[in-house]
Structure 1
Amino acid sequence: MSHRHMLGFITAFFVRGVASVNCYSRFDKLKGSSWVLAGGTDNDGNAVTSIGVATAMTLDLCLQTCGPGIWDKAARWLDFSERFSTWLLPFLALVSQLPFGGDTPFENVMSILLNVGSPTLAAYSVTLTTLNSRWIHRRFSRISYPSAQSAARVLDNLQQSRLEVTGDDYVLSSLIVLPENDQYWAELLIFLDVKHSYTWSFSNIASIIWVAVAFLLTVIHTFVDGEGSIDSNGIAVGFAWLWLLAIVTCSLNAAPRCDITLLGNAIERANQKLSLAKYIGQPESLDLTVQQPAISIEPDGGGSLTSDERRTAPIYNYARMVPWSLSVGRMYAAFSAASYRAEHNIPVSAEIPWEKGTGHGVNPANRRGCLDQVAAYIQRPSDQHGEISGGGFRSLHASLMALLLTSGTLGSATLMDWYTPTIGLSCRSGGYIIYSLNSVLVWALLMTANHLTHSIVSLEGKTGHRRFPYSANIAILLRRAAKILACMNAIWIVSACVAQFAGVYENCWCNSSLGHRAYTVMYFTQEDIQNWWKPLAGITAFASSSVGGFVWFNVGLNPSASK
């Protein structure tokens, strides 16, 4: 794209002509004149021998004939309102169905802007939530120790929080080993019931159906109306927003617990019922003023470096995968060690012989002992093999699914305008390319900042140093830059769609293919209409299969237990 064309693009987008012109009538007059010798083309940009048979004209001739302003056919309020309410408004309304959970209105607005500004980040976070859920249920399904499956459900439901599993073996071992604490897991699941989650309701089901039906009907209308004309404005905008339908559907299926206050209250109530083993005598209730509970969430602290980990909106799940996986790994290792000893008929107390339980359960008598014995029971035996968390694989898998959804929807919108005469790069397709690249860039910046953050936290833990100021500042700077870019990108896509419906792109610059041979198609031929069907059908199938595959992966292939 030349500097001249870029300048024309910017001028066409932001500046309206003083007086709009009817470029089509002026082109018709040119075709009847005898003084125009050059500038007429066919719809492939090839020069024609006579202007009288031209169906298109070069950009230079268009500018000489019509000027740089917007053509008068753009100023049609009825056309704008009909297209806006049909193609864009349903998706803007669907934005309200995204999960939020912020403590302040500002955090909720930022969550919206991050979702709209980076569909790649939104798709990555929701897919990562699904993969984490499968991973934890698959891991804990191998454990036969009491309450292991309940623990998996609890940890799964705490993906939207800054989960902390204490390093105190005495508290953690009592929680896992003592039969008195089986009720802890059951009651915590009750406290984390569906009322605390973002899940299916009549309102969001109706919104999804409304958007899906509206999109389907308008696609059908495009195919039917395409028999006599070509208009990709509406369907391209629909493709550009189709990712939102997939994100909302998959987020509802994941049912994230987003309210940090309710989560904190649920864990606090459950911790009050936790029993702690003693050196001598019966277990007693845990004194929270003296000892840290086994499971807690960290709503505050950590400074700006880990601020995104403490935000409960699902869009921030990308930042919580590492600490959440470490906490889950800690809990899994303890349950696994206890299960290993129980399978080998090893009781907690060496003074008490193993007693056979009923069915597949472990007799409560085998789970009692003093504080040191209980703590030793969750230590991994030397002959028990450890496991790799697979966090890198889950992140890679989520990245591929996010890029699939982004390319399938935003790529379809780009291709739809690209293959609509005038064929090639233009203001419309260029706008979608800018949005797509910024979406991926926001995700890449946040992933880089997140990787750097956890590297810093890990190094601080190993070396004992309290600060890595330069690296921390870089991580914070990258994250803030990504959020600013996401906000700008969200404003860009809404503005570009509104401009498309308002006719801002109806001018010589934006109706031309931007390249070394720029020309403007004025009238579609029958051959254009017939050839348009092939890319229309193929692109529609590509976008639909991308969205369908993404939803099927996140919803239809979820083998985890019900939350």
Structure 2
Amino acid sequence: MGVSLSTAHVSSWQQECASRFNCTSSGLVDIFGQAASCPANSTIQSVPGIWGITYEACQAECGMDKIVQSIDFTSAAVPLTTWLLPWIALIAQLPFEANGWRDLLSACLCVGSPALATYSLALTTFNRRYITNKFKRLKEKAEKDTQQRYHYMAQRAESAAFVLQEIQQCPMRADQRSGELASLIVLPDRQNFWLIAAKDLNNTRRGFTYSFLAQVILAFLSYLISFIAAVHDSLGSPDVGLQFASSSVWSWMFPIVYGYIRVGSQFQAGAIKQALVDNTILPQRGVSAHGTDVAEVMYQKGLRPDADVYTPLLFLETPGRLTLPSGSSSALSAAAQSTQSAFGGEDIALEQITFRRDGSVVANSEHQRERSEKASLLSRTDTAELEGPVSPPTWLGIDVRGDERREGPIFNYARILTWFAFAEHVRKGFETAINRFRVKPKPATPVGPDTTFLTVTVEGTPAADVTMIPLVTAKDAADCCRLAPFKDLPAFLSWEKIPSAAIRHMLYAAFLALFLLWGTTGAAIFVAYSTPAVGLGCRSGSYLIYGIAATVSWLLLVFSQFASHALMHRFEQDPDNYRLSTGYSVLGGLAVITRILGKTLAVANAGWLIASSVLEEIGAFQTCWCQTDAFQYHTSGWTPVFKAATDLRSQASGIWIGGFTWSIVVCIITAVIFT
């Protein structure tokens, strides 16, 4: 029954309810919820075996139509200030850097789904270690095994490792369409780019500032003092025990806040773009559309801090005829016409020349090979200059790319596959170049017009120990990195080409996310559940709902990432005809719907956690339904209205301290992993 005009508002629901019963009342029970009684001439307080009342007895005498706990914000201010506000204050230290309203969304996603925040943070941590190990070996090779003239690659590898580690909170693409990626990797005049980019990223990196340390230390000390005072003065009080539970469900914030500072993130949105593009102007050398050498100054394009997709620079390999992919643009068609013009305008038979999918041109005669190579460079340069990014795929007008294109650390979960593709393109370029530079030149061999340059076998190993490698143009750099001068580098790999390290990182991150979420939320559920009357009530039920919603939200968003990746892989291969592929609408719908559901659930769950924490402190759970664990037992539950703190001490104090301690241990283990 609901509140009526005759309902009495009382300051203590438990005391008022207990005063309405005596030894002649029905519905009295012991600590196990079994019926109990006392002599008619005695009082309930004098009989130690009587603990509480049944659900029916509670509703009859203490239902909401009889008495209601009044909301006293004055008395609730102390527990709210000491037990809840320190956690609310720490929200300001959660990773944002998403710009505008997305900062608020990032905070809601972190609070509403700690599993998502932990998953993104763990991926960032594992990726950093992966890059550190790989580039440490490359730096050692460059220092010890390369020729003296190529020792600059050691410093470049060190700077590149730092850059790759720090740009994970932004969508990244490796771009070889104009030959710029290979140029960035090996050309000597690109050294300043890596040094300046690393310096700028280090300057804009979040660190352990005094303001951060002060806020975290004050929050922790406030929490610790409250805990010590509660243990010393009030241990045994159900209110204190449930405050332990409420604090445990928030304790995941310590390792998350610490972890994001420890692994590093940029302090504002746009910092990565400024470091990679806006702050550095580089000389560009290459071949123009007219076959002449060009030299100009422009921003680098090898490392693109965006999620744009371009029309593929691909020709199809068709027997007996030079053809284009279906749906090719007019610019690409014009490029093909210029290619055919180089051969006299006639159709080119397969036995004379072949355009392969990787963009290379193969001819059977030396004369044809020279002409076909020139035609390939012409057509590719024309296409690269004329084609801009294509419109991204949508489903009902909503971008299918989702959070992969969003900037901000919380969205790193959606970039694990594209970041690995990007990082591997860069790493393999460095590895190939450094391996080639390991060949020692023959002594006293002059470098002149008749110099024979290093040749490489099909397997990528040096064929002979000859002389220095020319590093002047973009084509020289591409040859050194074993890349085509103009080539598409995929950002969305097929499932079988995803590196095994990426899969391991996702599995480890998923385990850590569940460990932290349920290690802290599970401790809160355990404390609230085990506090007499034992059972799943409003408090333990609210924590259980929070944990389940946080897990489901994280799973929905991760699933959305996989669906989006599958569709974007098809789109990247053929932006004009991807809709013709089987399952386009299904993949697009799954990617968009699961992403919206996951975010909506996380935002609602964040509000639920804060609201339930406040409701606990103001006495909103002081009802028969909540106190008798009706969430689990329905009408067969009971509540211990007759026992004070001293009676509960022996029954629940060990459980409260144990649950609280376990949540702290979980947080410490997680923080150590992030260190």
TM range, smaller chain: 0.7 to 0.9
Report the more deviating stretch, 520-529 or 160-169. Answer: 520-529
Tell me the equivalent position of 1:68: 64
- Residue 480 of structure 2: which of 362, 366, 377 is its match? 377
How far did residue 55 of structure 1 move?
A: 2.0
CA–CA distance in structure 2, aligned partners of residues 346 and 424 of structure 1? 78
- Residue 641 of structure 2: which of 496, 500, 522 is its match? 522
Tell me the equivalent position of 1:135: 130
Contact 1:161 1:311 in 2 (8 A): yes
How far did residue 366 of structure 1 move?
A: 4.5
User: Residue by residue, what CA displacement relative to the aligned partner does 1:75-96 show, whole Å, maximum 9, x if unpaired?
Assistant: 4333210111111111111111
Look up the equivalent residue of 2:90 and give its one-letter code. Answer: L
Contact 2:7 2:64 in 1 (8 A): no
- Residue 518 of structure 2: which of 402, 407, 417 is its match? 407
1:183 aligns with 2:192: yes
Tell me the equivalent position of 2:364: none
Report the more deviating stretch, 126-135 or 219-228. Answer: 219-228
Report the more deviating stretch, 449-458 or 66-75. Answer: 66-75
1:327 aligns with 2:422: yes
Tell me the equivalent position of 1:149: 158
Tell me the equivalent position of 2:587: 471
1:197-212 aligned within 5 A: 197-212=205-220
Residues 87 and 16 of structure 1, relative CA distance in 2, 3 Å threshold: farther
How far did residue 344 of structure 1 move?
A: 3.4
Contact 2:285 2:473 in 1 (8 A): no
Residues 425 and 223 of structure 1, relative CA distance in 2, 3 Å threshold: same
Residues 227 and 201 of structure 1, relative CA distance in 2, 3 Å threshold: closer
CA–CA distance in structure 2, aligned partners of residues 388 and 489 of structure 1? 34
CA–CA distance in structure 1, aligned partners of residues 506 and 547 of structure 2? 20
For 1:20, what is the secondary structure of its paired residue?
A: strand
How far did residue 274 of structure 1 move?
A: 4.7
1:50-65 aligned within 5 A: 50=38, 52=44, 53=47, 54-65=50-61
How many residues end up aligned between the 2 structures? 523
How far did residue 351 of structure 1 move?
A: 2.8
> Which structure shows the bigger proportion of residues in helix conformation?
1
User: Residue by residue, what CA displacement relative to the aligned partner does 1:107-155 show, whole Å, maximum 9, x if unpaired?
Assistant: 1111111111111111111111111111111111221341112111111
Contact 1:175 1:274 in 2 (8 A): no
User: Residue by residue, what CA displacement relative to the aligned partner does 1:457-484 show, whole Å, maximum 9, x if unpaired?
Assistant: 1123346633323311221111011111
User: Residue by residue, what CA displacement relative to the aligned partner does 1:512-536 show, whole Å, maximum 9, x if unpaired?
Assistant: 1231630011133756311312212
Look up the equivalent residue of 2:117 and give its one-letter code. Answer: A
How far did residue 29 of structure 1 move?
A: 4.6
User: Residue by residue, what CA displacement relative to the aligned partner does 1:307-359 show, whole Å, maximum 9, x if unpaired?
Assistant: 412222211110111111100010011111111112233799993678xxxxx
Residues 527 and 29 of structure 1, relative CA distance in 2, 3 Å threshold: closer
Segments of 5+ residues of structure 2 without an aligned counterpart are 143-152, 309-390, 455-466, 485-496
Identical pairs, percent: 25
User: Residue by residue, what CA displacement relative to the aligned partner does 1:15-74 show, whole Å, maximum 9, x if unpaired?
Assistant: 999432555345345224x3x3x4110122121133843220101001111123595665
- After the TM superposition, list the runs of 4 or more consecutive aligned residues in structure 1 that deviate by more than 6 angstroms: 278-283, 346-350
TM-score by length of 2: 0.72
Residues 274 and 132 of structure 1, relative CA distance in 2, 3 Å threshold: farther
Residues 183 and 493 of structure 1, relative CA distance in 2, 3 Å threshold: same
Look up the equivalent residue of 1:489 and give its one-letter code. Answer: N
Tell me the equivalent position of 1:31: 22
CA–CA distance in structure 1, aligned partners of residues 294 and 194 of structure 2? 17
Look up the equivalent residue of 1:107 and give its one-letter code. Answer: R
Tell me the equivalent position of 2:145: none
- Residue 460 of structure 1: which of 557, 571, 574 is its match? 571
CA–CA distance in structure 1, aligned partners of residues 56 and 278 of structure 2? 74
Report the more deviating stretch, 142-151 or 64-73. Answer: 64-73
- Residue 396 of structure 1: which of 507, 519, 527 is its match? 507
1:318 aligns with 2:313: no
CA–CA distance in structure 2, aligned partners of residues 315 and 336 of structure 1? 31
Tell me the equivalent position of 1:19: 8
Tell me the equivalent position of 1:225: 233
Tell me the equivalent position of 2:656: 536
Look up the equivalent residue of 1:298 and give its one-letter code. Answer: D
For 2:639, what is the secondary structure of its paired residue?
A: strand
Residues 344 and 524 of structure 1, relative CA distance in 2, 3 Å threshold: farther
CA–CA distance in structure 2, aligned partners of residues 553 and 69 of structure 1? 53
For 2:53, what is the secondary structure of its paired residue?
A: strand
Tell me the equivalent position of 2:108: 113
Residues 256 and 26 of structure 1, relative CA distance in 2, 3 Å threshold: closer
How far did residue 485 of structure 1 move?
A: 1.0
Residues 274 and 90 of structure 1, relative CA distance in 2, 3 Å threshold: farther
Tell me the equivalent position of 1:559: none
For 2:282, what is the secondary structure of its paired residue?
A: coil
Larger of the two Rg values belongs to structure = 2
Look up the equivalent residue of 1:402 and give its one-letter code. Answer: A
Tell me the equivalent position of 2:629: 513
For 2:8, what is the secondary structure of its paired residue?
A: coil
1:119-518 aligned within 5 A: 119-143=114-138, 144-145=141-142, 146=153, 147-168=156-177, 170-194=179-203, 196-227=204-235, 229-231=237-239, 232-257=241-266, 259-269=268-278, 271-276=280-285, 284-287=295-298, 293-298=301-306, 302=392, 304-345=399-440, 351=451, 366=469, 368=471, 371-379=474-482, 388-462=499-573, 465-467=577-579, 468-514=584-630, 515=633, 517-518=636-637
CA–CA distance in structure 1, aligned partners of residues 177 and 67 of structure 2? 73
Contact 1:178 1:367 in 2 (8 A): no
Report the more deviating stretch, 135-144 or 314-323. Answer: 135-144
Tell me the equivalent position of 1:77: 73
How far did residue 190 of structure 1 move?
A: 1.9
Residues 371 and 484 of structure 1, relative CA distance in 2, 3 Å threshold: closer
CA–CA distance in structure 2, aligned partners of residues 228 and 270 of structure 1? 61
Look up the equivalent residue of 1:19 and give its one-letter code. Answer: A
Look up the equivalent residue of 2:475 and give its one-letter code. Answer: D
Higher RCO by CA contacts (8 Å cutoff, separation 6 or greater): 1
Residues 172 and 334 of structure 1, relative CA distance in 2, 3 Å threshold: same
Contact 1:17 1:68 in 2 (8 A): no
Look up the equivalent residue of 2:72 and give its one-letter code. Answer: R
Contact 1:175 1:275 in 2 (8 A): no
CA–CA distance in structure 1, aligned partners of residues 172 and 267 of structure 2? 13
Look up the equivalent residue of 1:91 and give its one-letter code. Answer: W
1:87 aligns with 2:90: no
CA–CA distance in structure 2, aligned partners of residues 108 and 369 of structure 1? 45
CA–CA distance in structure 2, aligned partners of residues 70 and 118 of structure 1? 39
Report the more deviating stretch, 222-231 or 515-524. Answer: 222-231
CA–CA distance in structure 2, aligned partners of residues 277 and 389 of structure 1? 36
Tell me the equivalent position of 1:360: none
Contact 1:271 1:293 in 2 (8 A): no
TM-score by length of 1: 0.85
For 2:79, what is the secondary structure of its paired residue?
A: helix
CA–CA distance in structure 2, aligned partners of residues 162 and 225 of structure 1? 53
For 2:173, what is the secondary structure of its paired residue?
A: strand
For 1:273, what is the secondary structure of its paired residue?
A: strand
Look up the equivalent residue of 2:562 and give its one-letter code. Answer: H
1:42 aligns with 2:27: no
Query: RMSD between aligned alpha carbons?
Result: 3.1
Look up the equivalent residue of 1:351 and give its one-letter code. Answer: T
Look up the equivalent residue of 2:229 and give its one-letter code. Answer: H
For 2:625, what is the secondary structure of its paired residue?
A: coil
Look up the equivalent residue of 1:506 and give its one-letter code. Answer: Q
Contact 1:175 1:276 in 2 (8 A): no
How far did residue 367 of structure 1 move?
A: 5.6
